[in-house]
Amino acid sequence: MAEIRLKNLAHSYATDPEHTTDYAIHEMNHVWEQGGAYALLGPSGCGKSTLLNIISGLVIPSHGSVTFDGVEVNDISTQDRNIAQVFQFPVIYDSMTVYDNLAFPLRNMKVLESEIDAKVREVADILELSDILQRKANNLSADQKQKISMGRGLVRDDVSAILFDEPLTVIDPNLKWKLRRKLKQIHERYNITMVYVTHDQLEASTFADKIALMYEGKIVQFGTPRELFENPNHTFVGYFIGSPGMNLLKMTLSEQGAELGGITFGLNAEQRALLQGAKNAELTLGIRPEFVQLSAQQNEESLPCTIQHTEDLGTYKIVTVMLGDHSIKIRLDEEQQIPTQDAYLNFPNQWVKFYADDYLINSTEGEATSE
C-alpha cells in the first residue's frame, strides 16, 4: 500500500541529453494516491511504458526522484520495491503448473508452505483459476495466462502497487470486458494502488477513476474521464479522447470575431475578453463533434457549411462538413435528419473551447494554463 510520488522526474535514454527531444519523459511532478485506480493513457511512443518502468524500478530515471510513502526508492531495486507488474504479453513460467506459478513469488520469499497454499487458493478463487491449478501453465489460453501473471502480484501481501502495461493487448475482444471487470473487482477488494497503461481510451475510462493523459513525454491532463471529455486542457487531449476527436480549427482574432479561414464566428464579450489576453499566441478553436448542431434553418449565429459525406455507424452517424477551409465532423443520433441542400452549423457557446499554443485558455483565470 503506497502513495507514489514523482518529484521533478525526467528521463532520457541518451547518456548526455542536450535537447528536449532527447528526453523520453519531460520533467514532471505527479502523485498517485494510495488505493487509486489510475490509467496512463497516450499514443504509442509517448513515454507511458517508460514512466511505468521507472515506477517499478526496471528503468532508473536520469533526473528527479520517485518516492513511495515519502521514502525515496531511486536506489532500491525492483525486487525490493514491493511492486507487481503485468506485462503486455503474459509472462508465465512454462515448465510449472498454474499452482506453482502463483506460488513462485512466495517461495522466492521463503514463506511457509502452509501459508502459500492458503494464499494461492484464495487468489485462484478470485481469478477463477481454481479448476486448473494443477495444469501446466503453457497450454492455457492468453486470458488465463494473463490472469496468472496478475495472480503472481496478488499473492504477495507486501505489494504496494500493481502496474499494468497494456495487459489486454493479446486478449480476445469478447474476453476483454470480463478481465477488466475482474480488475475492478480486485481493486475494490484489495485497495491496492493500480496504474494501468493503455492507448485505448475506452479501456482507460472503464478501468480508472482518474486518467493521466500523456503526450510527448508529458502528462498533459490528469482528471476524470468526464473532465477529459468535456474540458480538455490541451488540443491533444481533445483530439485523442473521443471518437472522433475534437474539431480543432486554427483561428485569428479580428474586430468581427474569430476568423476561421474565411468564415467569421461571432464572439460574445466573455469570449472576447478571454482571447484578448492571448492574442499573440497561435489560437485554436475547439469543439467536440457531439456538441456541434446541424440544421437546415439559418439563424443569427449559424454558419453556412456544405455537407461532404455521412458515415452511418448503426447507433449514430458521423457527418463531415466543410466550413470554409475547415473540415468538421459532427456526431448525430440515428434518427436526426441531415439537411439535403443548405446546411448551417451552430456552436453552443458553453462547448466552444479556445486554445493558445495548444493549451486551454482557462475561463476563470483568463490566461493559458501552463503545465
Q: How far is CA 200 from CA 111, 138, 178, 241, 290, in A?
A: 38, 28, 16, 9, 20
Considering only residues 125 through 144, tell me which ones interact with other proteins, judged by CB under 8 A: 132, 135-136, 138-139
Q: Which of 169, 200, 196, 199 is nearest to 183 (CA)?
A: 196
Per-residue cell: 131: 479448476
Closer of 121 and 136 to other proteins (Cβ): 136
Specify the residue, 110 or 309, whose C-beta has the smaller distance to other proteins: 110
Task: Pick one of 9, 83, 150, 195: the residue that binds other proteins (CB under 8 A).
Answer: 83
Whose Cβ is closer to other proteins: residue 97's or residue 346's? 97
For the beta carbon of residue 170, count every other beta carbon within 10 angstroms. 14
Please state the length of the chain: 371
170 binds other proteins, rule: CB under 8 A: no
Q: Which of 42, 61, 105, 245 binds other proteins (CB under 8 A)?
A: 105
Q: Which stretch binds other proteins (CB under 8 A): 93-101, 168-176, 217-225, 256-264?
A: 93-101
Q: Which of residues 63-82 bind other proteins (CB under 8 A)?
A: 77-79
- Site stretch for other proteins (CB under 8 A), options 43-51, 102-110, 262-270, 354-362: 102-110
The Cα-based distances of 92 to 134, 176, 332 in angstroms read 14, 19, 46
Amino acid, res. 66: V
By CB under 8 A, the residues from 208 to 227 that bind other proteins are none
Smallest distance from the beta carbon of 271 to other proteins, in angstroms? 50
Per-residue binder mask for other proteins (CB under 8 A), 109-128, x = binder: x-------------------
Distance between CA atoms of 152 and 115, rounded to whole angstroms?
Answer: 15
Distance in angstroms (rounded) separating the CA atoms of residues 248 and 250: 7
Q: Which listed residue (95, 254, 306, 327) binds other proteins by CB under 8 A?
A: 95
Nearest to 236 by CA among 361, 368, 355, 369: 355
Tell whether residue 164 is a contact of other proteins (CB under 8 A): no
CB 129 within 8 A of CB 101: no
C-alpha grid cell, residue 248: 480543432
Burial of 61 (0-12, 13-18, 19+ CB in 10 A): buried
Taking the complex as a whole, the smallest distance from the CB of residue 91 to other proteins amounts, in Å, to: 4
The CB-of-269 to other proteins minimum distance in angstroms stands at: 57
Give residues in contact with other proteins (CB under 8 A).
56, 58, 77-79, 83-85, 87-89, 91, 93-96, 104-105, 108-109, 132, 135-136, 138-139, 149, 152-153
